[in-house]
Amino acid sequence: MRIVAAVANGAGVPFAIESVELAAPQRDEVVVRIEATGLCHTDLSVCDGSIPVPKFPCVLGHEGAGIVVERGTHVTNVAEGDHVVISFSACGDCAPCQAGRPASCDRFFSLNFSGRRTDGTSTLYRGDEAINGCFLGQSSFATHALVRGRDVVPVPRDLPLHVLAPLGCGVQTGAGAVLNYLRPQPGASLVVFGAGAVGLSAVLAARIAQCSPIIIVDFNSNRLGLGTEFGATHALNASEGPVVKRIRELTTGGVRFAVEASGSPTAVASAIECCRGSGAVALLGAPDFRASVTVPMRALSTGATIRWVMEGDSVPQTFIPQLIDLYRSGAFPFDRMIRCYDLTQINQAAADCRSGATIKAVLSMAHMRA
Ligand SMILES: [Zn+2]
Ligand SMILES: [Zn+2]
């Protein structure tokens, strides 16, 4: 079918709104009419060339939300007309998937970053040219996306899809790192580096987990202010002096849990340095794959656990409904981070995210059907 997509044609090149062809669904796939898609930092990292996959040209976008309009013969978990949020893709068959850890799927890379289906076929064509799709199992910077049925999460119809879209990656990454991986006891100290959508979602989750103190670190005073409104007890502007020293003072020697959500090598080092022995550091920020991190050896001798946590260690089919329940209860007001744009304004949205003016941009496709 003919669809409209924002195509990324090269590193540093603006998105181009183009008409492309979406392949027919295979038996385990659905076609989702995308209503809205969040813009996540990983999309920008691919555009900047700091994450070198998939190859250009490609269609990015991995926080899609929409309505199922067609399904393959083997799809049974959703039907036409269902509202869905699309999350990352996992195979369902490997040992980690079987153990209930789809974010650690053995085939995570090929399913989410290869640009093709696992059988090598493309889902998107520009004329006779196959272009890369399947980004995080969806490529949802488009009016429609082809998704494996097992990677969509049915959601209630009474909530707006432009609000629910960021649950598919950024929000579940930040909240899941705290609620699924770190699992702090009430009263445990926790610091979050980076007051973007991922970091602020971690702050909201830390408040739900009753952490204390909750420290947020960033350079942007507006974002730090929202962090305080979301439950941070201390907001540290990284431009105002040594961060590690101040965190140690606030936590009498070192913090129990650190969440690194900025992707900055300096912040990764600080997160490790400020953590006390027997603590844990969760690394979430999309890094520049060309960068290195330097950490003093003494910081590694404390015994703290340091782990990259993919997608908040989430099982999207259960964790996203859990986050929706928390949102309804008022405990998880992640919608306050959202600013909406039309899909055709994607380059402005990307610029606003890079500058820090917008925390979570959500692109709406509604105007393309008007
Ligand atoms: Zn798997
Ligand atoms: Zn993401």
**Can you list the alpha helix ranges (DSSP code H) found in the chain?**
41-48, 95-98, 108-113, 161-164, 170-176, 197-208, 221-229, 243-250, 265-273, 297-300, 316-329, 346-355
Q: CA–CA separation, 92 vs 150, rounded Å? A: 8
Distance 258 CA to ligand 2 centre (A): 20
Distance 214 CA to ligand 2 centre (A): 24
Q: Is 31 left (phi over 0), alpha (psi -120 to 50) or beta?
A: beta
Distance 158 CA to ligand 1 centre (A): 32
Distance 99 CA to ligand 1 centre (A): 9
- Return per-residue pLDDT of the chain as tens, 370 residues: 999 999 999 999 999 999 999 999 999 999 999 999 999 999 999 998 888 888 999 999 999 999 999 999 999 999 999 999 999 999 999 999 999 999 999 999 999 999 999 999 999 999 999 999 999 999 999 999 999 999 999 999 999 999 999 999 999 999 999 999 999 999 999 999 999 999 999 999 999 999 999 999 999 999 999 999 999 999 999 999 999 999 999 999 999 999 999 999 999 999 999 999 889 999 998 778 788 999 988 888 888 999 999 999 999 999 999 999 999 999 999 999 999 999 999 999 999 999 999 999 999 998 887 6
Read off the amino acid at residue 309.
Answer: V
Distance 149 CA to ligand 1 centre (A): 15
The strand pairing partners of 142, in sequence order, are 5
Which residue do the tokens 């910077």 mark?
141
Distance 58 CA to ligand 1 centre (A): 24
What is the rounded (10 degree) CA torsion for 92, 324, 60, 356?
-140
Pairing, β 214-218 against β 190-193: parallel
Q: What is the pLDDT of residue 370?
A: 60
> Residue 311: nearest ligand to its CA?
2
Do residues 63 and 296 make contact, with C-beta atoms less than 8 angstroms apart? Answer: no
> Residue 62: nearest ligand to its CA?
2
Q: Report the first-to-last Cα separation within the chain, whole angstroms.
A: 19
Per the structure block, which two tokens stand in for 233? 């007890």
How many Cα atoms are found within 13 Å in the side-chain-facing hemisphere of 361?
26
Distance 310 CA to ligand 2 centre (A): 10
Please list, residue by residue across 262-293, b when 16 or more beta carbons sit within 10 angstroms of its beta carbon and e when fewer do: bbbbebbbbbbbbbbeebbbbbbbbbeeeeee
Q: 217, 311, 220, 228: which is closest to 267 by C-alpha? A: 217
Distance 240 CA to ligand 1 centre (A): 44
Q: What is the pLDDT of residue 258?
A: 98
Distance 356 CA to ligand 1 centre (A): 35
Q: Is 284 left (phi over 0), alpha (psi -120 to 50) or beta?
A: alpha
Distance 137 CA to ligand 1 centre (A): 13
> Residue 92: nearest ligand to its CA?
1
Distance 130 CA to ligand 1 centre (A): 26
Judge if pTM exceeds 0.95: yes
Q: Is 137 left (phi over 0), alpha (psi -120 to 50) or beta?
A: left
Q: CA–CA separation, 64 vs 3, rounded Å? A: 15
Q: What is the pLDDT of residue 49?
A: 86
Integer CA distances (angstroms), 100 to 79, 90, 105, 112, 277, in order? 24, 11, 10, 18, 29
